[in-house]
Structure 1
């Protein structure tokens, strides 16, 4: 009889435990499992894109970003870099439209993203991306071969005042885009008339430095970080840069400003990161938070000093407001020189 009662009690206990499992009552582990996310982000390799050729400003910026994110353990997944050059960034912008909603594509851009839309090169604009953050401000620089007859930007401007076609200007961006516009702004401020007649040759395949070294153009309009090694080696000499102060270290810090040579103008080449259009909210949140941490690292400080970049971080909302203001400014410049789309 006692044995029979024990069996009944054991069966009742098992039944109660079973009921608890079925209803979830008394199962703390099950509740915890439901509350924990099932997937982590990012869980696969990212697609980091430079819209220009290897060795250019976009390439340097996104490679530096990827390296620091990896070196500081802020991101653990691979971040291979792809170069998609052409159209002043337009080829890549069109490609980004095919990745709408992707959580794994990030590209770097700068003023040409706005300019190629304003000058009519593409109907797409920065509004066809997901802006994430502005990272840095770089500046333009005007360089010539080591044996050039020009020793200052003022001498170049005097030559252009006499004959606007006397100096061939080269750049990696398309006509009406950044390398072209930054030079025209300086020429206009210097008093050069008929700036539309200045010969500007675009090398969108990223070969502009090779072209000036080969003597195919007289002056190269580019970014400070793009030609640092060639300046250090003495193959090129810098006539002026477009900041309102001396920037960078070493050879970069020695370059005189345009203002120091009596030309009252500056030009900022900001650079920021943009994701595919309609990037999911969880991915946007992750990258905003991660990039905010990255720009506070000593590794980022060192990279900015080395490349002559000014730290100019803006989070997404501030960056979008900045882009709207910059878009209006560039539109005014293009209208003034007759290159704005009708």
Structure 2
């Protein structure tokens, strides 16, 4: 072999060896990256979660997410802390906007209920349940209509009769915005009771301190959730006129509250509550929390909390919950359209 050929052959061999080494390193590096990524997912969660109540302290969302957090800690189902943050405003739309900023995050879970759909349909926000990651439906809570203990209204029919004579004669209040849950749940019962001029009924929205507005005499009737005024009913500061389930719920004083149906009004309202992650929550996080929540709802601690708060078990896994949200959204759309509040 000539000297020239020997040199070319040697250069080719060196080149092939270098390529092999580089390729091997690249493959090794890539595999290391995949292993690290898989390991990271396997160890999830490693840092504290942010559990969010989209309303103020003491409300239904606050009670629900704090109960979830406590049960997860008490049962040691969560390997990390689950502190609760309150992000009130806009019937939950302020927090919904915040969740968009955390798109793809794996450490945020928020509780929501009917206003997640209603605030979109009534034009409060362009965002909807489709801008979240549904994780699970947990419970069914019910509306209750309460008055001060010294109120002249003794039954829900006393209120209905007064409204039929003069729709401006009774001031209804709630914590949700106009066209959202506390408003809609009262209008649904009023409609079922035969009131036709629903638009003329005065509804006043209070973002905070709604209980004190009733106790202070600024409104006549408070439309709210059963769990949100249990203590005030038990203390005798408030008197419950009716609740919106189709059956008696809870224990103690809650079980003594008559349904609207018992009083001749053929109407119900169910306030479901569920858990949601931010949009595009990573699949490993969705899987972990779906499995953890599934275990949680079977614990004695969770069942006792539901009984104590008058909550019905309405657990649905993510897939079922998503279908449920689509169906309920259509129903709310029809109601808002009927009373002229649909903005979509």
Instruction: Quote the residue 2:92 is aligned against.
Output: 89
Distance 1:66 1:179 in 2: 25
Distance 2:36 2:128 in 1: 40
Distance 2:297 2:315 in 1: 7
Deviations 1:126-163 (A, max 9, x none): 00000000000000000000000000000000000000
Q: Give runs of aligned pairs for residues 93-104 of structure 1, distance below 5 A.
A: 93-104=96-107
Deviating 4+ runs (over 6 angstroms): none
Distance 1:76 1:236 in 2: 40
**1:102 Cα deviation from its structure 2 partner:** 0.2
**1:313 Cα deviation from its structure 2 partner:** 0.4
The SS at the match of 1:38 is helix
Instruction: Quote the residue 1:28 is aligned against.
Output: none
The SS at the match of 1:238 is strand
Instruction: Quote the residue 1:257 is aligned against.
Output: 259
1:42 aligns to 2:48 (yes or no): no
The SS at the match of 1:120 is coil
The SS at the match of 2:39 is coil
Q: 2:192 aligns with which of 182, 186, 189?
A: 189
Instruction: Quote the residue 1:60 is aligned against.
Output: 63
Distance 2:82 2:296 in 1: 15
Instruction: Quote the residue 2:234 is aligned against.
Output: 232
Instruction: Quote the residue 2:82 is aligned against.
Output: 79
1:314 aligns to 2:284 (yes or no): no
Alignment RMSD (CA, Å): 1.4
Unaligned runs of 5+ in 2: 1-23, 25-31
Instruction: Quote the residue 2:203 is aligned against.
Output: 200
Number of paired residues?
310
- Tell me: CA distance 1:279–1:36, structure 2 relative to 1, closer, same or farther (3 Å): closer
| TM-score (normalizing by structure 1) | 0.89
**1:193 Cα deviation from its structure 2 partner:** 2.2
Instruction: Quote the residue 1:288 is aligned against.
Output: 290
Instruction: Quote the residue 2:151 is aligned against.
Output: 148
Q: Give runs of aligned pairs for residues 113-192 of structure 1, distance below 5 A.
A: 113-192=116-195
Unaligned runs of 5+ in 1: 1-22, 24-30
Instruction: Quote the residue 2:332 is aligned against.
Output: 330
